[in-house]
Amino acid sequence: MTRRIALALLTLTLVLLTAAAVPLGLSITQREHVAFRDKTQAAARVIASSAEEYLSDHLPPDAMRADLAAAQQAGDCAAVYDAGGQLVASTPCTAAQGPEARELAAESLSGREPEPPEGEGRLLAAEPVGDFRQPGGAVVLARSTAPLDTRIAVTWAWIALIGAGGLAASALVSVWLARWVGRPLTALDTAAQRLGEGELRERAAVAGGPPEVRRLAATFNTMAARTEALIHGHQAVVADVSHQLRTPLTALRLRLDLLAAAPEGAAPELLASAQEEVARLSRLVDGLLAVARAEQAVPRPVAVRVDEVVRDRAAAWEPVALEHGIHLGSRCRAPGPVALGAGHLEQILDNLLANALDAVAEGGTVTIDSDPAQDTVRVRVVDDGPGMSPEAKAVAFHRFGNPQARGSGLGLAIVHRLVTANGGTVRLEDTPGGGLTAVLDLPRWRERRNTPTGGPTAGPETSTSP
């Protein structure tokens, strides 16, 4: 890429320089030729003016001879012819007396204005003496074109030098620009190749190159980081799942081995134990599927009335609470809608209530309440159970984060995913007097959202107990 960019810029510069320099040089050359001819004819007219005094006015030839001497000192050759074409006076050199010079003189004497010919390193110019219709003579002046050729050569040399300098400067700038653009892209390409080969920690440098390339490198690094996190997360999930499934599978195999060798009277008890392990495996797999669906879901928010959902879930879990001898209450001071995916609030409360009822002892209390805030609605699930240690709360929202969990340990992971996917936050706090409080800050529903308004349009997507 660096070579292609440099060659493209150099080619463009060469074309531009050629398009500008060649016409400029030709124009200067033409102007130099015109100026040289004009000066040569002007010098011939000076001699013709003094020759008129001698040929037409019959004055002494002193002025004419003085002009011829001046022309000689300037390096020119001049000759004065009378009306009959006879040579009257000339400089010592004979360049203005040859056949071509005599033809020019004859044309001037006939009343025509000849074009000064240029050849053999000299320019010939002819001027009539007196009236050009009836001239009394003619003057022919021959001037060397060496100074003209020198000036033209110098002009073209300067144009070529400037062009070469511009081309060299363009080459330097082109190489620098090509490297400035190409090096970050090459580094990015190398980083992409290494990432594709499995080097998940590979990152691209974002320090050099154009802003667009730096943004591309930063985007690549974000993608690489997310890919690394995703792959490590999947590896962690596989490890966690393998670890969690090993225990019930081992227990189930042990039960089945004992069942095969057990006496006839012990078979029902061993079969019941095996069925419990199968149920445990089923709950664990259901929980993993629920986490996977929650992590892959992209919610489309709808308006959900918190008070209605809280009353509905409290009524649904009331029989379970009564069966365990636990008082389940609700208090809602935030009737306004929140923006959540359809059925997500029901699923969140189901998992929190299942955890709370499982943790609280008989005679305990579980309460759901909600309060309005500026841009959010705060929903809390409060219990007076044994609570959790700070270490356990720090990892409670991870898969299988709580090693002391009685269930699968996936309920809080589902809650965290559903809340954060909808733009909310969730945290665990200690309940004053003992216990645990799950605090949800859910985003309020805004009328400007391009989603339909109204209450919940669907029930829970999944209802998974921990």
How many whole angstroms separate alpha carbon 118 and alpha carbon 36? 11
Q: Taking residues 440-448, what's their average pLDDT?
A: 81
- The pLDDT of residue 464 is above 60: no
Which residues of the chain does CATH 3.30.565.10 include? 300-443
Which residues, at least 6 apart from 281, have a Cβ–Cβ distance to it below 8 Å?
245, 248, 249, 252
User: CATH code for 300-443?
Assistant: 3.30.565.10
Q: Which two tokens stand for residue 126?
A: 């002819």
Which residues, at least 6 apart from 371, have a Cβ–Cβ distance to it below 8 Å?
333, 334, 377, 378
What is the model's pLDDT at position 296? Answer: 55
Compare 185 and 120 and report the one with higher pLDDT. 185
CATH 1.10.3720.10 fits 211-292, yes or no: no
Q: Which two tokens stand for residue 430?
A: 């200690």
Q: Please report, as a single letter, which amino acid is at residue 255.
A: R
Q: Taking residues 394-409, what's their average pLDDT?
A: 63
Which residues, at least 6 apart from 399, have a Cβ–Cβ distance to it below 8 Å?
236, 237, 240, 291, 409, 410, 413
Give the orientation angle of helix 146-196 with respect to helix 2-55, to 10 degrees: 170
Which residues of the chain does CATH 1.10.287.130 include? 211-292
Q: The pTM is what?
A: 0.46
Q: Is 130:120 a contact under the CB 8 Å cutoff?
A: no
Tell me which DSSP letter residue 444 carries.
B
Residue 431 burial by CB count (10 A; 0-12/13-18/19+): exposed, middle or buried? middle
pLDDT single digits (tens) 238-275: 666 665 566 567 767 776 776 666 666 666 776 776 77
- The torsion angles phi and psi of 428, rounded to 5 degrees, stand at -115, 135
Q: Which two tokens stand for residue 266?
A: 């012990």
How many whole angstroms separate alpha carbon 135 and alpha carbon 129? 5
- The pLDDT of residue 450 is above 70: no
How many whole angstroms separate alpha carbon 212 and alpha carbon 178? 15
Q: Taking residues 395-400, what's their average pLDDT?
A: 74
> From its phi and psi, is residue 288 left (phi > 0), alpha (psi between -120 and 50) or beta?
alpha
Domain covering 2-150, topology: Beta-Lactamase (3.30.450)
Residue linked to tokens 């009539």? 128
How many whole angstroms separate alpha carbon 235 and alpha carbon 244? 14
What is the model's pLDDT at position 463? Answer: 34
Q: Which two tokens stand for residue 443?
A: 């985003």
Q: Which two tokens stand for residue 451?
A: 């989603």
User: 303, 271, 313, 231: which is closest to 448 by C-alpha?
Assistant: 303
What is the model's pLDDT at position 451? Answer: 42
What is the model's pLDDT at position 455? Answer: 42
How many whole angstroms separate alpha carbon 283 and alpha carbon 139? 124
- In the chain, % of residues over pLDDT 70: 79
- In the chain, % of residues over pLDDT 90: 24
pLDDT single digits (tens) 33-60: 999 999 999 999 999 999 988 888 888 9
Residue 25 burial by CB count (10 A; 0-12/13-18/19+): exposed, middle or buried? middle
Q: Which two tokens stand for residue 398?
A: 């991870």
Confidence of residue 355 (pLDDT cuts 50, 70, 90): confident
Compare 65 and 458 and report the one with higher pLDDT. 65
- The pLDDT of residue 164 is above 70: yes
C-alpha separations of 157 from 154, 336, 358 in Å = 5, 86, 97
pLDDT averaged over the chain? 81
> From its phi and psi, is residue 76 left (phi > 0), alpha (psi between -120 and 50) or beta?
beta
Which residues, at least 6 apart from 51, have a Cβ–Cβ distance to it below 8 Å?
64, 67, 80, 88, 89, 129, 137, 139
Give the orientation angle of helix 211-261 with respect to helix 267-296, to 10 degrees: 170
Which residues of the chain does CATH 3.30.450.20 include? 2-150
